[in-house]
Structure 1
Amino acid sequence: MTSIADLRKSYERAELNEDASHADPLQQFEQWLQEAMAAEVPEPNAMTLATVASNLRPSTRVVLIKGYDARGITWFTNYESRKGQELAGNPFAALQFHWVELERVVRIEGLVERVSAQESDEYFHSRPLDSRIGAWASPQSQVISGRGVLVANAAKFGAQFLLRPPRPPHWGGYRLIPDNWQFWQGRKSRLHDRLRYTLNPASSTSPVWLRERLAP
């Protein structure tokens, strides 16, 4: 039986250097995301979301990115879930993408805000019917007695709303506004490439990013 401490992998697929990387981290992210989708890695849109509760205990979970632009990174969820409650108390969070097959990691940190009701409505109504009913049926992060609760709730709300369920008031989108990005590319001998982009808070018009190489 192989010991977990003996597991090793040599990272040799690609490199990341300052000359070949974008000056704007959003453009670098878009390039890597598009390459992950083109490579057909499993769930390239999956990202780990880290939040911190009022007692300073961090927690993580995997969510799906649903949009990105100059405003930030967007996902949708239940506002009453654990992550929603933690973001209400501490609106700073971190995201991480790990594209294992490409030996790449992207880390993003920043302030989180709710997207507009219009944005939440538009995305909610684009979802499959089962998913829209599921948003009503699941009291996310709450203790339930068994799966039967979810099935019964889905049946109840399905009968109530039929084909036109409205967006629940407790469900909608969040947007993380980045002020720190890190791009990690695995390299041989553990001498990985790691570039950090830090937003200059003094820039009042277009964002100004400081790009630096960090030791791995």
Structure 2
Amino acid sequence: MDFTDQRLSYEKGVLDQQSVPESPFDLLKAWMDEAIAQKVQEPYAMSLATCGIDNKPSVRIVLMREITETGVVFYTNYESAKGQDIAENPNAEVLFFWHELERQIRISGSIAKIDAQKSAAYFQKRPHDSQVGAWVSQPQSGEVTNREVMDQTFEQLQSDYSNSGEVPTPEFWGGYEITVEQIEFWQGRANRMHDRIVYTSENGDSWNTKRLLP
């Protein structure tokens, strides 16, 4: 299949270096608010790239669940392939792409587990079936004989926890925060002359901005 003739002209917006806020978090929140207002489907979905000691990068979609004062938070199984990568190399990058707005955001930085109590509080807010599903996916990414095994385990756990009440938070499950060290905002423009503004942290207290060639 050849896609060399498939082209789009991006003409929905501009990104002016002189008008961006001092903090990248202000721009991140503003763009996220706009994506939600424009009804972008799951605008908080982001591609997470990690790399363990084998030097082989892995990427998958996860859901951002919070923008903090220092970074972004998502939740997952700590014993998953991504969890193993993070344990071996605590650096990561995420990418948001919103085709409807012709925008991308890249965030890179160090990554670490969040407080266990905060993870537990979020877990208890999840739908009951999602809580049960977290227990089924253990170990996440592990091999399973067939779909029926998964379904049977799910049904058994649903029955067990319907009798006992609250689904306990698994010790192997919780949140990570990526502390932002660099964040790039990309606005598509016509003729491949895209706007790219990158913020780089200075000791976590202030930010430098610069324009990159497209």
Identify whether the pair has TM-score above 0.5, normalized to the shorter chain: yes
**Counterpart for residue 195 of structure 1:** 197
Q: Supply the distance in 1 between the matched residues of 2:109 and 2:88 (Cα, whole angstroms).
A: 15
**Counterpart for residue 147 of structure 2:** 147
Measured after TM superposition, the shift of residue 19 of structure 1 is 2.0
TM-score w.r.t. structure 2 length? 0.96
Provide the alpha-carbon RMSD of the alignment: 1.1
Gaps of 5+ in 1: none
**Counterpart for residue 172 of structure 1:** 174
**Counterpart for residue 211 of structure 2:** 213
**Counterpart for residue 77 of structure 1:** 76
Moved more, 25-34 or 145-154: 145-154
Equivalent residue runs for 1:88-103 within 5 Å: 88-103=87-102
SS at structure 1 position matched to 2:76: strand
Aligned residue identity for 1:141:
S
SS at structure 1 position matched to 2:17: coil
The percent identity for this pair of structures is 40
What do the CA deviations read for 1:19-42 (whole angstroms, capped 9, x no partner)? 221110011100000000000011
Moved more, 102-111 or 157-166: 157-166
**Counterpart for residue 16 of structure 1:** 15
Gaps of 5+ in 2: none
Aligned residue identity for 1:154:
F
- Over 3 Å off, 4+ runs: none
What do the CA deviations read for 1:49-70 (whole angstroms, capped 9, x no partner)? 0000211000000000000121
Q: Supply the distance in 1 between the matched residues of 2:81 and 2:2 (Cα, whole angstroms).
A: 35
SS at structure 1 position matched to 2:19: coil
Aligned residue identity for 2:64:
I
Q: Supply the distance in 1 between the matched residues of 2:124 and 2:70 (Cα, whole angstroms).
A: 22
